[in-house]
Amino acid sequence: MDLPRIIDDTARDLYKRVDAENLHRGKNIDAIIATCIFLACRQKSLPRTFKEICALTKVPRKDIGRTFKFLKEKLGAEAGPMSSDDLMARFCANLSLLSSAQECAVMLNQMAKQRDTLAGKSPVSIAGACIYMASHLVGQPRDAKVISHVAGVSEVTIKNSYKLLFADRHQLVSEEMLRVSPMASIEFLPTP
């Protein structure tokens, strides 16, 4: 995973604060470093999922989660919530989707939020399901298995969220959404 220099610098600054305040005593140093990277990504509005940080650092998710709660409290570090909007562009780029599919996925995400279609689902699940639906809608279909690999959630999770979107498709898919691509059609949507 390539992280911008600003993330590296911010993570280093966070680690220096941890060291200066002697918060690392009795803690796994690798988990502290992983958590500093995670916090830096959130603070600089380039959020990564726990799974992505785990893959990068080889630190178990449970250790990062526990250390995240500890450092967030002790440092008073701001770590804004992650939303599906934050993940959409990166996932679409990793799937080699054209901008029309990404634009459609973003609009679909906004409509689903307004209608509470996917209320209670994780941002990663929402992003995956919206990308799955949008890719089919604009004629650039991606398999749920491929999307699940990029998003880091199971294929079943994406398909279950997609079922909810599909059931509400006539209210979610607008004329504006269909105009983002000349090939776009609600008829391209696969039946769950």
Confidence bin at 33 (pLDDT 50/70/90): very high
Q: Residue 2: is its pLDDT beyond 80?
A: no
Tokens, residue 6:
């600003």
Average of per-residue pLDDT across 157-172: 95
Nearest-10 Cα torsion for 42, 124, 141, 96? 20
pLDDT in tens, 71-118: 888 888 777 778 888 889 889 999 999 999 999 999 999 999 999 999
Average of per-residue pLDDT across 60-66: 92
Q: Residue 152: is its pLDDT beyond 80?
A: yes
Query: Which residues, including other chains, have CB under 8 Å from residue 36's CB and lie 6 or more apart?
Result: 11, 12, 14, 15, 18, 71
Confidence bin at 3 (pLDDT 50/70/90): confident
pLDDT in tens, 129-145: 999 999 999 999 999 99
**Residue 14, phi-psi category: left (phi > 0), alpha (psi -120 to 50), beta (remainder):** alpha
Give the per-residue pLDDT at 156. Answer: 96
Q: Give backbone dihedrals phi and psi of 179, rounded to 5 degrees, phi first.
A: -80, -10
